[in-house]
Chain A
Amino acid sequence: MKSKTSLPVSYRLAVTSRVLAAVVGGYLMASLASICLALWLPTSRADAVITGMMSSFVFYLLAVLWCFACRSAARAWFGVLLPSAAFATLAGVGLWMTRV
């Protein structure tokens, strides 16, 4: 992983893909996780929102670590988008329940 000038393009693209997965995918996952906490925590509405916002950065951190620890860029995206989808489903159910 040293910065040699002879790094192949594929490697550079893979790193770029991981960075995007970490920054964009990670933010998406952190947002969805915090929405889930805000909707599902059994405290008052404002407290649940505060807890969700406060802990979102830990989710973001975990997503970023995953994106650079896993074996390939594809896994990075998979590992970020799968929990995002799960959180989105949970959040969707939560929203639907508050609206009904």
Chain B
Amino acid sequence: MKEGFRQAMAWLHTWAGLIFGWLLFAIFLTGTLSYFKDEISHWMQPEVQARPLDDARSLTVAQTYLQQVAPTAARWFITLPDSRDPGLSVMWQDKVDPGKRGNFIQKTLDPVTGQAVQARESMGGEFFYRFHFQLQMPHPWGRWLSTIAAMVMFIALITGIITHKKIFKDFFTFRPRKGQRSWLDGHNAVGVLVLPFHLMITYSSLVIFMSMVMPAPILASYGNDTRAFFSEVFPNTNNAPASGQPGTLLPLVPMYEQARAQWAGGHVGRVAVNNPGDMNASVNVLRAGSDSVVHDFGSTVSFNGSTGELLRVSGGQSLPAAIGGSFYGLHMGHFAGPVLRWLYFICGLAGTAMIGTGLVIWLGKRQLKHLKSNVMPFELRLVEVLNIASMSGLMIAIAAFFWANRLLPVTFAERSGWEVQTFFIAWGLSLLHAILRRGRQGWVEQLSVGALLFIAIPLLNALTTSHHLGVSLATGDWAMAGFDLTSLASGIFLGWAAWKMQHRTVPAPKVERTRGLTLKQEAN
């Protein structure tokens, strides 16, 4: 490494980007889909009916249900329906001996009838959301791996900026149909265009898991009493322990109303009840994340559950907590309305495209040298296989997940699990296919299959449910219609990509080679 600073940074950018590129591509794409988590869930569980929002009724319904089903639970969580997520979600935690965490059980209720919703079992958009930071691994390894990937992404972004000296000039240069050069221009354009988004989303993902990956300062300041830190930062976790004497929980609605009055009409996202059947029951009313950009975990009004006495109203956030909360809030985008949500989605796609083009460039540059011999060294072939499987293969896997949702019978045992299995089976098969087929054919075939699967989704929806585009557009069910239309658009895009791949064979290798030379000179 005797070259200059910029070359050294380019080297780091190249290799860090390559090794984590495939994983980052999957994290970015599934994370992007998570911005429409609720809309995807709505499509995947069309049986869940949207009811007019009425928080008081929902809360009463949930309390009655939990009172019957889980009167002795350690904790209840009631998540109220909102305009995006029509289901009333109740969750409770079994009471077990202290020191051990009980299991969580979650049910979605109909906010009018109070019965558990009879919908097909499906993880819906939650699957993509969970996958993008847990990677289907046991706790906490997936979170660690995705946070490590985020750190590598951060390094790749900064080294990319350093490498890319003429950041604004180059942004306005896009040279289409120039092979390798166009890929690089595209990589730079999507990189620079949404650079603030990339930096925000990457750094915030580190901040979200900072107490897990960087526990040193907590240990240094609090010693072994790390709980003290969390109860200082999140005062609502500091609740009175159960007294052991049975008590009666008062109705939650008046507490809900008092909390809203405290927030000048702000919205309630969640209600948590600790020890509901105990004298010392406590009720925490938590503010909805959609109320502000700066997320405040502690924004809580606490009550004594059996007397109704207001115990605590959380104060404002300190500056560092507000900065952390802004990172969290910006990453999640709970506050975003439809337009901003689409902007998030597009920025996420741009990030995904930046990673994808980077991987293509890495291989393209090195393939040029082997055009004549027609034999690729093992490592280049490996990168090619992984490129195909991680990009077009992931598209197929996502489409297969949606297909499974419509084709698996509603009564099928372990249905939701099988949807997830289908996702991974399809992904595995596309890896196998990429190994068996030569590069370009592999790309064309997988992109075509992906295109067909996505284009057919509106049709599949029309054949298997009564929520086809004609109905959803007519009734103004924009989430349902938007899903179908986005699938159609994705399918058309994949088809276009497949067509481009197929017809890229036209330029003679000779031209390609001279281009490679000039590219090398430019790169050096």
Contacts and interface: CB of A to CB of B under 8 A. Distances in A.
Given A47-B318, A60-B151, A64-B155, A34 B8 contact: no
A68 B11 contact: yes
Contact of B321 (A30, A32, A47, A61): A47
A35 B318 contact: no
B366 interface: yes
B220 A65 contact: no
Contact of B11 (A1, A32, A48): A1
Interface string B205-229: 0110011001011101110000001
A31 B233 CA distance: 20
A53 B226 CA distance: 14
A49 B232 CA distance: 11
A64 B155 CA distance: 8
A86 interface: no
Interface in B369-423: 377, 379
Q: Name the prevailing secondary structure of the B interface residues.
A: helix
Contacts of A54: 207, 210, 320, 323-324, 327
Contacts, number: 101
14 contacts: A34-B214, A34-B216, A38-B221, A48-B221, A49-B218, A51-B320, A53-B214, A54-B324, A56-B214, A57-B151, A57-B210, A68-B8, A68-B11, A69-B5
Assign chain A's interface to a size class: 35 or more
Interface of A: 1, 3, 5, 14, 30-32, 34-35, 37-39, 43-54, 56-57, 60-61, 64-65, 68-69, 71, 91, 95
Contacts of A49: 217-218, 221-222, 229
B155 A30 contact: no
A68 B2 CA distance: 11
Q: Among B1, B2, B158, B323, which residue has the most Cβ atoms of chain A within 10 A?
A: B1
Contacts of A46: 229, 232-233, 318, 321
Nearest to B216: A31
Contacts of A32: 216
Q: Name the prevailing secondary structure of the A interface residues.
A: helix
A44 B318 contact: yes
Given A43-B320, A54-B324, A56-B216, 15 more contacts: A1-B1, A3-B366, A31-B216, A34-B214, A39-B221, A46-B232, A50-B233, A54-B207, A56-B214, A56-B217, A57-B207, A65-B158, A69-B8, A71-B1, A91-B220
A90 to B, nearest CB: 11
Contact of A43 (B207, B233, B318, B327): B318
Given A47-B320, A54-B320, A57-B154, A34 B217 contact: yes
Nearest to B203: A57
